[in-house]
Each structure stands twice: as C-alpha cells, then as structure tokens.
C-alpha cells in the first residue's frame, strides 16, 4: 500500500516543497557569492514553525559544518538575516579566526549616538513610535498593560487582539532600537477569574506568547529574570486558598509571587564587546561600571511598589537595576507604556535620557508632577509631545512670566 499522506510543505502550500528545490536555491546563492566550488550541502530540513527551509553548508574539504542558509518556504527568498553571512563562511573556509571576521564585519559601522532629549508623549505608543527616528533608542524597558478577559475592564475583547497590539509595539520597538541593544519586558501570566461557580478559573501564560513574538520580530532571547516578591504578595489573588483549606491532591495551586523580567537583544552579528570598545566616550563607559552589590543570579528579590499613585507601577529599584545593567550613562531609555514614569525616574537618577509614552492623561499628570523631583531645573527642558502644558515649575517668590496679578482685569 502506498502512503498518500501529503508532505507538511504541501499541506502548508509552500512554494519550496522538496529537498531538491531547497538545494537548487542554495546552489544559486553560492554561485552568486562565488563559493559554489568550495561549499557543499548537507540535508535540507523544513522548519514549519517558522515556515523556512534550513540548508546546512559544509566545507567541501572536510565536510565540517560552516553555516546555514535559510530560505522562505512560502516565496523562495533567501533570508539573509537568518543565514550565515558570506564573510563568516569565507573566514571559516579559510579557518581564519572568527574574531578577525567580526572585525571585518564591523569596520565602517558607526557607533550611533542619539540626539533625542528627555521626552514624554501622550497617546497610543504605536502611533508615537511611528513618529520616532529609526535607531534612536539604546534600551527599552517596559511593563505592558495586562490582558483582562472581562470586556468591562479591558481594551481587548480577545486575547489575540491583545497579542496583535503587543506585536505592533514590539515590531516598531525593533525599528527605533539601536542594533544589538536590549528590550527588557516585565510581564507575568494573568489569572482570569471564573465567570460563575460552575466554571474553572484560567491562567494565561502571556510571557510565553510574547516570547514567540519577540523571536519572530527579530530579537534574540538573552535572559529570564525572576522578580520574586515577598510571600504575602500573592495571597490577594485568591489562588491557593482552596488547597490551603482542603489539601486535596489535584487541587494544588501555587500562590504566584513572581513576575518575569524577560531580556531580549535586537538580533545582530556585532558582539557586545564592540559596543564597549567602540563607544566614542570611554569616560561614560567607565562611569557606567557596576559596583560589587549587583544581582548575581536570575532571581531578584524586590518589594512591590505599593505607594505609587499608579495601580500597576513597578518598583523604582527594579527599573534602576535594569537601566544600570543594560545601558551606559548618556544613553536613551524608552518606556512605551510608561504609566507613572518609573523608568524616567530611574533613567534620570542614573544619568540616562528618557522617552516615555503613555495613553492615559491622568498618568501623564503624575509624570508632570514628579519630573521636577527627578531632574530639578532640567525638567524645564523636557519635550512634552501631545501633552497638556505641565504646571509651571515655581520656586518661592518666583512669578511665572504669564502671571496676571490683576486677576484678568488688564486683559
Ligand atoms: C502596567 S502599566 C505600566 C506602569 C509603569 N511601569 C509604572 O511604573 O508606572 C501599563 C501602562 O500602559 C498604558 N497603556 C495602555 N495601552 C497603551 C498604549 N496603547 N499606548 C501607551 N500607553 C498605554 C496604561 O495606561 C498603563 O499606564
């Protein structure tokens, strides 16, 4: 009996359906870069999660694997970002030191210095990100709005809508972030309360879905840091209470006292070392060094912020750690979901510039009130994009220039 089951590539309606086709595309590419006589091919494999073919590239001399070509299965295009660079293949063919190839790759790349000044923008961060110059930010740290399945509490009726919005933000964030720099996101699974007693509550693993989006949008995964709160913090969720009372197996539910701080890096061939060595102001690099009292492991124990006027503000301590570990003094740090502006506070205190976007005018007001305490007089220079004017910063006996002492009688 013959097996008539269609291949994965046929079911998905790929344009590249066979090993022979993938090989032909690879040979054409190798001919173009004039390596077809020195490189042979391993067995191509289809990766139907990312809809691409991966073709191993081997050094003809000894069959050592020296790289890989990625081909878009839907349209036959060579995916240069996901493939080994020709210079790297050459270096490996010649058994040259990879560090020398790195030097060749990075010669001519200019170290980007952002000209942005401290900025606060009011509105949807997707639109505000669209207005930003490309590659103008050195670090992104944010905590996105929570998904809540009850429509009366959420901007998103469906979880898919929520994820789509996050994808729009992550995609644009990729555009404004400098090459090889970090996007750090504070996120946690959400608990959807049961609608009635006959239904079970549900937990959605938001961080794992966001992870997939980061990878698809051109970021590399670097670290999963756990922000651990004191034990009492999780009891408010009600999780685990039933088990605490009854102690039946299968009913066990852990009380959540952690959140993730997920660290991604904009995909690049450039080594981190390059950023340190090529920074045009080495005194800033030296001044950014971190002292002995740093977090050695991926568990950071930090008290939640319960004193903020914002209901979901993260602790200043968390923002300060992220800003100091993943940026240099003088860098620009962006928070597209800024809330009360904790990232602005941390950035200012650590000698970085900030760009904060926030949709809710009430939270913009909190930022406007707090900014002078972060920056002193320099708060006057903040660019308030699409925001109502901030209250005049007055000191005792100072009169704002537009103050009308007659109470309007002279108008
Ligand atoms: C979890 S809170 C961030 C709190 C912040 N980390 C702090 O310390 O105050 C998320 C914030 O995103 C804001 N937000 C939601 N959707 C937004 C959008 N499309 N653009 C900009 N801000 C948005 C919400 O108003 C909320 O203040």
User: What pLDDT is stored for residue 110 in this prediction?
Assistant: 83
**Ligand 1 proximity of 274 Cβ (cutoff 6 Å):** no
319 and 365 part of one domain: yes
Confidence (pLDDT) at 148: 79
> Once rounded to an integer, what is the mean pLDDT over residues 40-64?
91
Q: Which of 62-76, 242-256, 367-381, 382-396 has the highest mean pLDDT?
A: 367-381
283 CB within 6 A, ligand 1:
no
CATH of the domain at 141: 3.40.50.150
Q: Helix 86-93 and helix 98-106: axis angle, to 10°?
A: 150
Confirm or reject: Cβ of 360 under 6 Å from ligand 1: yes
In this structure, of 17-21, 98-102, 293-297, 351-355, the range with the lowest mean pLDDT score is: 98-102
Q: Does ligand 1 lie within 6 Å of residue 260's CB atom?
A: no
CA of 283 to the centre of ligand 1 (A): 35
Q: Choose the final residue of a domain: 50, 75, 107.
A: 107
Please tell me whether residues 72 and 144 are part of one structural domain.
no
Question: Considering the domain boundaries, does residue 348 fall inside one?
Answer: yes
d(CA 37, CA 28): 12
Same domain? For 59 and 140 the reply is no
Domain holding 372, by residue range, is 119-192+200-269+291-402
The predicted structure's pLDDT at residue 95: 72
Find tokens 């660019």 and name the residue.
Answer: 383
Quick one: pLDDT band at residue 409, thresholds 50, 70, 90?
very low
Residue of 123, 312, 335, 357 with the most ligand 1 atoms within 8 Å of its CB, for mutation: 312
Ligand 1 atom at minimal distance to the Cα of residue 337: 12
239 and 216 fall within a common domain: yes
Ligand 1: residue whose CA is nearest its atom 10: 145
Asked if residue 164 belongs to a domain, the reply is yes
Mean pLDDT over residues 2-24, rounded? Answer: 82
Q: What was the pLDDT predicted at 168?
A: 98
The yes-or-no verdict on residue 237 having pLDDT over 90 is no
Q: How far is the CA of 345 from the centre of ligand 1 (A)?
A: 15
User: For residues 191 and 239, is the Cβ–Cβ distance under 8 A?
Assistant: yes
**Predicted local confidence at residue 198, as pLDDT:** 82
Average per-residue pLDDT in the chain? 89
User: What confidence score (pLDDT) does residue 407 get?
Assistant: 45
- Of the residues 337, 356, 369, 371, which should be mutated to test ligand 1's pocket, given the most ligand atoms within 8 Å of the CB? 337
Residue 324 lies in a domain: yes
**Could you tell me if residue 278 is inside a domain?**
no
Write down the pTM of the prediction.
0.74
Check pocket membership of 275 for ligand 1, CB cut-off 6 A.
Answer: no
Q: What is the pLDDT of residue 238?
A: 75
The residue contributing the CA closest to ligand 1 atom 26 is 339
Contacts (Cβ under 8 Å, ≥6 apart) of 196: none
The alpha carbon of 231 and the centre of ligand 1 are apart by a number of angstroms equal to 26
- d(CA 143, ligand 1 centre) in Å: 7
Band (pLDDT 50/70/90 cuts) for residue 411 is very low
For the stretch 116-154, pLDDT in tens is: 999 999 999 999 999 999 999 999 999 999 887 555 556
- Choosing from 141, 338, 363, 374 the residue with most ligand 1 atoms within 8 A of its CB, the one to mutate for a pocket test is 338
Residue 156 Cβ inside 6 Å of ligand 1? The answer reads no
Out of 73, 107, 141, a domain closes at 107
Residues 159 and 231 in one domain: yes
pLDDT at 402: 53
The answer to whether the CB of 201 is under 6 A from ligand 1 is no
Domain stop point among 83, 107, 131: 107
Which tokens belong to 391?
């209250």
- Which of 41-50, 139-148, 396-405 has the lowest average pLDDT? 396-405
- pLDDT exceeding 90 applies to what percent of the chain? 69
Which of ligand 1's atoms lies nearest the C-alpha of 305? 8
Tell me how far the alpha carbon of residue 117 lies from the centroid of ligand 1, in angstroms.
21
Residue 38 confidence class, pLDDT cut points 50, 70, 90: very high
pLDDT at 224 over 60: yes
> Would residue 286 count as lying in a domain?
no
Residues 245, 195 contacting (CB under 8 angstroms): no
Q: How far apart, in whole angstroms, are the C-alpha atoms of residue 25 and residue 16?
A: 9
CB 369 near ligand 1, within 6 Å: no
* In the predicted structure, residue 7 carries a pLDDT above the cut 80: no
Please report, for the chain, how many H helices and E strands are present, in that order: 13, 15
- State the pLDDT confidence band at 211, using cuts at 50, 70 and 90: very high
Question: If pLDDT is split at 50, 70 and 90, which confidence band does 383 have?
Answer: very high
Q: Is residue 275 part of a domain?
A: no
Split at pLDDT 50, 70, 90, the class of 8 is confident
Angle at which helix 342-349 crosses helix 316-326, to 10 degrees, equals 50
Please name which of 315, 332, 349, 339 lies closest in space to residue 227, comparing C-alpha atoms: 315
Domain count, the chain: 2
Average pLDDT over residues 351-376: 98
Question: What are 289-340's pLDDT values in tens digits?
Answer: 999 999 999 999 999 998 999 999 999 999 999 999 999 999 999 999 999 9
Q: How far is CA 217 from CA 192, 205, 214, in A?
A: 28, 19, 5
In total, the chain counts a number of residues equal to 411
pLDDT at 6: 75
**Residue 94 banded pLDDT, cuts 50, 70, 90:** confident
**Given this model, what pLDDT does residue 343 score?**
98
Query: Within 13 Å, how many C-alpha atoms sit on residue 302's CB side?
Result: 24
* Residue with CA at minimum distance from ligand 1 atom 1: 145
Closest ligand 1 atom, residue 335 Cα:
6
Nearest CA to ligand 1 atom 19: 124
- Distance from Cα 174 to the centre of ligand 1, integer Å: 19
Q: Are residues 86 and 156 in the same domain?
A: no
Does a structural domain hold residue 264?
yes
Residues 141 and 219 in one domain: yes
């Amino acid at each position: 009996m013959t097996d008539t089951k269609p291949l994965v590539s046929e079911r998905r309606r790929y344009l590249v359906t066979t090993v022979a086709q993938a090989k032909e595309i690879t040979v054409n590419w190798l001919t173009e870069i004039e390596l077809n006589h020195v490189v042979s091919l391993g067995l191509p494999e289809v990766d139907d999660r990312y809809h691409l073919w991966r073709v191993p590239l081997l050094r003809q001399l000894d069959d050592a694997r020296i790289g890989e070509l990625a081909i878009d299965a839907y349209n036959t295009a060579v995916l240069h970002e996901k493939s080994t660079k020709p210079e790297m293949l050459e270096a490996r063919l010649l058994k040259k030191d990879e560090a020398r190839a790195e030097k060749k790759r990075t010669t001519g790349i200019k170290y980007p210095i952002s000209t942005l000044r401290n900025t606060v923008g009011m509105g949807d961060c997707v639109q505000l990100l669209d207005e930003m110059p490309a590659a103008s930010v050195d670090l992104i740290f944010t905590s996105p709005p929570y998904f809540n399945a009850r429509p009366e509490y959420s901007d998103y009726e469906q979880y898919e809508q929520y994820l789509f919005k996050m994808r729009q933000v992550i995609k644009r964030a990729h555009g404004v972030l400098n090459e090889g720099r970090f996007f750090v996101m504070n996120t946690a699974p959400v608990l959807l309360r049961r609608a009635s007693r006959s239904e079970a509550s549900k937990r959605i693993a938001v961080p794992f879905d966001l992870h997939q989006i980061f990878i698809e949008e051109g970021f590399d995964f670097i670290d999963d840091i756990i922000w651990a709160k004191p034990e009492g913090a999780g009891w408010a969720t009600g999780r685990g209470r039933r088990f605490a009372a009854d102690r039946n197996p299968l009913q066990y539910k852990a009380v959540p006292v952690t959140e993730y701080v997920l660290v991604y890096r904009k995909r690049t061939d450039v080594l981190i070392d390059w950023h340190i060595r090529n920074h045009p102001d080495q005194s800033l690099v030296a001044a950014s060094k971190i002292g002995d009292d740093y977090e050695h492991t991926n568990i950071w124990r930090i008290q939640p912020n319960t004193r903020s006027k914002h209901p979901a503000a993260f602790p200043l301590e968390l923002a300060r750690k992220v800003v100091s570990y993943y940026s240099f003094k003088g860098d620009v740090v962006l928070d597209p979901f800024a809330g009360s502006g904790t990232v602005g506070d941390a950035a200012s205190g650590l000698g970085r510039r900030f760009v904060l976007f926030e949709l809710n005018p009430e939270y913009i007001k909190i930022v406007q009130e707090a900014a002078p305490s972060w920056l002193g007089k320099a708060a006057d220079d903040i660019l308030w994009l699409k925001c109502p004017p901030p209250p005049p910063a007055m000191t005792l006996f100072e009169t704002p220039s537009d103050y009308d002492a007659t109470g309007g009688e002279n108008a």
